[in-house]
Each structure stands twice: as C-alpha cells, then as structure tokens.
C-alpha cells in the first residue's frame, strides 16, 4: 500500500475521492456505493482515519486528525445515468491499484465523465416515447394507441425537460407533463385517433415514474443509510403525487368543461 508523501498529495487524493462521489450522486448512484467508493480510493493510498458522510444533496469528507482537512460538496441537481456510474466504478478500481499514481490524469478522466453530455436529448426522448407506446400493447391496446402514446409521451417529455431547465421545483415538470398527457390523450380519443385514452395515459406516463428513486431508497434502507433512504423515498412519493395530481386535474378539467368521457 502506497504511503502519502506530502500534504498536497493528500489533498489531491481527497479531491479525487470527492469528485468521484459527487459524480456518482449526480447520476443516481446509491449512497452506500458513494461512501464505499470514496473510502476505497482513500484507503488504497494509505490515508488513515478518513470519514465520509453522504446524502442525496451533499457530501462531507475529512479525516479525524486535529489538523486534518474537511471537504464539503453541495449537490444541487441530480439525474439518472447508469453509464457514468459504470465509468466511475472502472476509474475507481484502476485508481485503487497501488501501481497507479497519475493523479492529474485521474482528475481529467473524472472531469471528462462529468462533462460528457451523453446521448442527444432528442434521442433519449424518442427512445423513452417509443418504450411508452410499447406499454399499451401489454394492456391489449391497438396500433393507434401505441402511436398516440408515443407522440403524447414525446410532447410531455419535451415540456417537462423545458420546465426543469428553468425551475428549481423538480416535481413541477412531472405534474405539468402528466396533465398534458391526460388532456392530449382524451382529445386524441375524441378525434377517433385512438381507441382507449386510459391506455394512452398509462403508457405515456411511464417515463415519468420514479422507479429508480424508489429502488435506491429501499437499497439505502437495507444498507443502513436511513437519512438517504427516507429522502429518496420521500422524493419518489412526491413525484408520484405530482403525476397523480396532474392526471386527476386533467380528468376533472375535461369532465367540467369538455363533457363526459
């Protein structure tokens, strides 16, 4: 195991660990994975007494010495990108190798992963919309339901993405998107372009559902990370409430102003 030779080297290793943890949280990783990655990076370079505490919104990293260092990182925006999580895991495994000492190259690699925009936004929206349409077939919908669900989901996802870009309220985009999905689905059925407006709604809201947040919440609970488990579970619940409110509002508005369904 390598011995740290200077204070500057120690700071660099802590910054590497902090950056890796930040990218993991920003892209939807479980908290236990974040803390484990940070600890492994530090321990591999013989940093003793390192403590880390992570939540979905910040990371606290430092050592328990009187003259030690403490790093704090506030994470304001989070999403889901499994590809970036896999890349961080690969880099951390390489860094843990005691023969690997190129810290600057590691930082550059981490920054490149963090700055990588990934697939174009339209490609992701199109893929999510098509998968939404496929769900109508699972509920015995027809081809017209598939097409309408795909188009409706695409419109809703574009609107949701635009709202999230300008609003700090993460649930607002989901609520508005669910409302639009409901109204558009009913209009398409009234125009005889689809057979079942309810199947179109069920399919189109699929990309909005907080499945990953709920799964990570349960995994964090199992791992003993109670704070992050509660916060992610609450986030998933609020997202589900926003979607339900949007759908319910759309149905109520149509029944009040547009007549019977």
Pick from 73, 91, 78: nearest CA to 28: 78
Question: Which helix H or strand E contains 136, and what residues bound it?
Answer: helix 121-138
Specify the range with the lowest mean pLDDT, choosing from 136-140, 166-170, 187-191, 225-229.
166-170
pLDDT greater than 90 at residue 182: yes
pLDDT greater than 80 at residue 87: yes
Contact between 197 and 189 (Cβ < 8 Å): yes
Binned at pLDDT 50, 70 and 90, residue 132 comes out as confident
Residues 228 and 220: their CA atoms lie apart, in Å, by 7
Whether pTM > 0.75 for this model: the answer is yes
Q: What is the pLDDT of residues 60-74, one digit of tens each?
A: 988 777 566 788 888
Binned at pLDDT 50, 70 and 90, residue 3 comes out as low
Strand ranges for 94-206 from DSSP E: none
Q: Which two tokens stand for residue 68?
A: 């030690």
Mean pLDDT of 115-134: 87
Q: Residue 235 to residues 57, 154, 228: CA-CA distances in angstroms?
A: 12, 24, 10
Mean pLDDT of 200-227: 87
Mean pLDDT of 115-120: 85
- Residue 191, SS3 per DSSP: coil
Name the β-bridge partners of 52.
61
Q: What is the pLDDT of residues 27-45, one digit of tens each?
A: 988 898 899 999 999 888 8
Q: Convert 83-106 to b/e letters by CB count within 10 Å (16 or more is b).
A: ebbebbeebbeebeeeebeeeeeb
Say if residue 124 is exposed, middle or buried (CB neighbours under 10 Å; 0-12, 13-18, 19+).
Answer: middle
Residues 107 and 81: their CA atoms lie apart, in Å, by 20
Binned at pLDDT 50, 70 and 90, residue 242 comes out as very high
Binned at pLDDT 50, 70 and 90, residue 259 comes out as low
**Percent of the chain whose pLDDT exceeds 90:** 32
Mean pLDDT of 102-109: 89
- Residue 258 pLDDT: 66
- Residue 178 pLDDT: 93
Say if residue 210 is exposed, middle or buried (CB neighbours under 10 Å; 0-12, 13-18, 19+).
Answer: buried
- Residue 220 pLDDT: 86
Long-range contacts of 167-175, Cβ-Cβ distance < 8 Å, separation of 24 or more: 170/235, 170/239, 171/238, 171/239, 171/241, 171/242, 172/242, 174/208, 174/239, 174/242, 174/243, 174/246, 175/242, 175/243, 175/245, 175/246
């Amino acid at each position: 195991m390598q011995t740290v030779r200077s204070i500057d080297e120690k700071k660099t290793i802590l910054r590497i660990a902090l950056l890796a943890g930040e990218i993991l949280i920003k892209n939807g990783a479980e908290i236990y994975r974040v803390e484990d990655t940070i600890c492994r990076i530090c321990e591999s370079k013989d940093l003793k007494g390192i403590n880390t505490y992570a939540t979905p919104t910040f990371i606290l990293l430092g050592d328990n010495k009187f003259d030690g260092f403490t790093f704090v990182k506030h994470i304001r925006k989070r999403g889901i990108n499994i590809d970036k999580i896999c890349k961080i895991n690969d880099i951390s495994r390489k860094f843990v190798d005691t023969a690997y000492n190129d810290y600057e190259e590691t930082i550059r690699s981490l920054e490149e992963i963090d700055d990588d925009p990934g697939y174009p936004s339209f490609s992701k929206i199109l893929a999510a919309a098509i998968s939404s349409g496929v769900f109508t077939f699972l509920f015995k919908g027809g081809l017209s339901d598939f097409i309408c669900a795909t188009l409706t989901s695409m419109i809703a996802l574009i609107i949701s993405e635009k709202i999230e870009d300008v609003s700090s309220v993460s649930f607002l985009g989901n609520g508005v998107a669910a409302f639009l999905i409901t109204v558009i689905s009913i209009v398409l059925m009234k125009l005889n372009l689809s057979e079942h407006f309810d199947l179109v709604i069920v399919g189109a809201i699929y990309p909005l559902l907080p499945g990953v947040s709920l799964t990570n919440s349960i995994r964090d609970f199992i791992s003993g990370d109670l704070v992050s488990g509660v916060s992610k579970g609450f986030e998933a619940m609020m997202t589900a409430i926003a979607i339900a409110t949007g759908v319910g509002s759309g149905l109520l508005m149509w029944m009040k102003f547009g007549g019977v369904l």
